[in-house]
Structures are given as C-alpha cells and as structure tokens.
Amino acid sequence: MKQETLNFFEKVYEVARLIPYGRVTSYGAIAKYLGATRSARMVGYAMNGSGGKDVPAHRVVNQKGLLTGKHHFDGTNLMQQLLESEGIKVIDNQIQNFDEVFWDPSNTL
C-alpha cells in the first residue's frame, strides 16, 4: 500500500480529531507523530482542507501556544472564542497555561 502522501492530510485530520476536549497541540507534535518532524508546515497546510470537516483546527497552534492560524478562520477572534469555550484561557492570541493544556499525540501512544 503506497498512500503516504495521500494519507498525509488524512493522518493530520485523524490526529486533530484525537485531540481531547479542552486540550491543544502543536503542528510540530502532530508532524512528529506522523514521522514528519520537518513537515510541521504541511500540517498547517493540510488544515486548509479541514474546512467542512470535523477537524478542530482551533485546537492546533504553534509550539509557542500562539494562535498563528487564527487568520484562516472565518472571524478574527473565532479561534480564541472556541478555545475559551473549552476552558482554555487565551489572551492576545496567546494560550495561557499552555504547558497544562498541551496534548502530545505521542504521549497517548
């Protein structure tokens, strides 16, 4: 079975869906989980196709806990609103207690 590139997006979607409620993860963590540590950008790029899917892209942020992808959401503060709605404190696009809400897919293995 050779569907690596094809599954790349699918894998990203799966991992994103595995993110528990009230938790967040980074692109690099997902990328590493997929074995593509250097392809963290691809994770975010794949998220472009997450629209219309059950992928909680708002739970995915960069390693700094900064909502870098909020610009891709419909509104301007929609991503922050969703995170806060899950109990995550977000101030100025920056997730508070990031180390506490951080969820590593590799840790779940």
63 binding DNA? (CB under 7 A): yes
Q: Which of 17, 20, 41, 76 binds DNA (CB under 7 A)?
A: 41
- Establish if 44 lies at the interface with DNA (CB under 7 A): yes
Identify which of residues 42 and 87 has a Cβ nearer to DNA in the complex.
42
- The answer to whether 83 contacts DNA (rule: CB under 7 A) is no
CB under 8 Å to 25, separation ≥6 — which residues? 15, 19, 59, 60, 61, 102, 103, 104, 105
Instruction: By CB under 7 A, name the binding residues for DNA.
Output: 4-6, 8-9, 26-29, 31, 36, 38-45, 47-48, 50-51, 57-58, 60, 62-64, 68-69, 71-73
